[in-house]
A and B are shown apart, each in its own frame.
Chain A
Amino acid sequence: MRIEQDIHNNREHETLFYILAVLGGLVTVAGLAAALYMEHNGHVVTGMNNQVVWGLPHVFAIFLIVAASGVLNVASIGSVFGKVIYKARAPLSGMLALAMLAAGLAVIMLDLGRADRLIVAMTHFNPTSVFGWNVILYPGFFAIVGIYLWTLMDRQMNPYYKAAGFAAFIWRLLLTTGTGSIFGFLVARQAYQSAMLAPMFIILSFAWGLAVFLVVQWVMFSWNEVRLNLAIRTRMKNLLGTFVAAAFYFVMIYHLTNLYFAKQAAFEHFILVSGGIFPILFWGGYVLLGTLIPLILIYHPTISKQKGAVCVAAELVLLGAFCLLYVFIIGGQVFPLDMFPGMIVSSTFYDGLIDSYIPSTPEILLSLGGFGIAFTAITVGVRVFKFMPEDDVGSLESAGHMLD
């Protein structure tokens, strides 16, 4: 009877897996079709324009790239900082990092005005361009994390895992520095040009990457009907809480420096108070839903013990991530350039006016297509390879690793 039940469950799981893989594939295909449509007709079919030059695809792509580098942190805590319970999670962490980076890069590339000139991007290198550095940083990440995964999953290569893990950790810090610096070096617009952005993106990546990991881990454990050890759950949720709080601190300091050091008072007033959708997304989406409620779910003595509390907290952190990036990327562009301080300006090119941006259907599909790529790769990856974290709680406890 028990065996029959298991077979039935396995069949159900098998069917569900194929349904999920096909769904992910369909979203991916829709994204690719949207990219082809945009490529054929030009960006006239998008909501982007000459003021808001980067739109929803960039919000999704930058989320995927930042979270990709952050999710690798789980592996680094095991390999670089020697925390044994994280070592069992290193292969899954590496695979998630590769899948999400590939998805993020795909969206960025497919949104190019001339996506057909990818080969030009790879053969023409400008050393002063942060994008140019990224042309080296991204493939380097794939190579180093690929080798790291190899050292983790092949016994013969296992002696080298620490060295590979250390290289991957350094590389991911460089990569997120590169992503933050894409904006940090922009002198033109009030929202950017801040030295805060590179470290802020790194700490955001810690929070978002761990949140992605926790959601995937929760799904995998539920799928396999395994309960995560309570001590491990507590440690991981506390780490998420620390990262979320630290990220919030950096975001606050970024806005304060913009106000008091850079004197961008008009811009900050727009983003935080008067800018319509942007203050709503910032305070309601990022601060309340993406930071405060997750912190309550993580640290409240009774709520934090509820089933699913950590997973919901992680999902809310990811929702907050989108709100923050939307405010940062779109809000930072709709606000007019301040070329003539103190003057009222107007022109046929919408100088002095707050722009509006409404993403079109192809842009939304392309953006979701990035998710489709990551989702499909992760779903197939965890099915085909052995990425399920296995905790030998007894030996971990006896060796004192549950408390270190």
Chain B
Amino acid sequence: MNEPQDKSRRGFIGTAAAGVAGLGTLALAPGLHLIEVTQANPTGAPSQGASSKIRWGMLIDTAKCVTGCDVCVKACATENGINETLKDPRQGSQWIRKIDLKDPKFDRTFSLPMMCQHCAEPPCVDVCPTGASFKRADGIVLVDRHTCIGCRYCMMACPYKARSFVHQPLTEQNPEVPRGIGCVESCNFCVQRVDKGLKPACVESCPEGAMLFGDLNDKNSEIAQRIAREATTQVRADLKLNLGVRYQGI
């Protein structure tokens, strides 16, 4: 064999191999690297994915929710890396917010947390042109950061003002919760925690125990039993969206 030619061939293979290895550490998207994709599932076994046997839901007791308390809002921000400050707060992201209500006729006041209601028939999913807004088999409504084109049609369609548009570049994100400029986002029931068997951050943080999370399809779950026993309300029930979040005391 011609030695110099062989050397150059080996040299080329070596360079190419180094290049491929280098590619592995390149960013596919901010915070997402090829090498980390393989590490995310070290066993190599296919992940189970969401099950349609489950319907995740939340029950909020407004009688226990304290006006002025925003522990759940802060817990959500910490968990999901919502730390940016904007000059115009109307442009900032709010995955969960506290709404104070007053019934002017009877002078009754109360407070409740409002977030994505995880509709069974979500208008945001219906209107999304690319399918970036989607509903998992277990009822959690999500936005795919990679196919959201930032048209904001879902924000026009959401009856709960539950969605936010990322108006500026972001830094210091939580690697488990990718967010991105120019994309729409909303409460995802802390899907990264739920998939590990944990509760959403807001539920876990509530000092009054006003928020209950669980499987609406499991008749033995606490949430299903309470909804079967006690009167609950869906916000804007007239739209017949079959919400995953129910309220008591409205």
Contact = CB atoms under 8 A, between A and B. Distances in A.
Chain B binds chain A: yes
Nearest to B184: A113
B130 interface: yes
Contact of B147 (A42, A124, A189): A124
Contacts of B90: 49-51, 350, 355
A333 B168 CA distance: 22
Contact of B149 (A114, A128, A339, A343): A114
A188 B123 contact: yes
SS of B interface (majority):
loop
B94 A113 contact: no
Contacts of B92: 50
A345 B149 contact: no
B159 A187 contact: yes
Contacts of B250: 340
Interface residues of B, number: 59
Interface in A94-151: 112-115, 117-118, 120-121, 124-126, 128-132, 134-135
A113 B91 contact: no
A112 B103 contact: no
B131 interface: yes
A191 to B, nearest CB: 10
Interface string A341-383: 0111111111100010000000000000000000000000000
B151 A43 contact: no
Given A43-B165, A120-B147, A131 B129 contact: yes
B148 interface: yes
B194 interface: no
Given A112-B151, A348-B98, A126 B159 contact: no
A344 B102 contact: yes
A128 B105 CA distance: 41
B89 to A, nearest CB: 7
Interface of B: 73, 86-94, 97-105, 114, 123, 125-132, 146-153, 155-161, 163-169, 181-184, 235-236, 239, 250
Given A42-B182, A44-B168, A348-B97, 5 more contacts: A112-B149, A113-B151, A114-B148, A135-B129, A186-B157
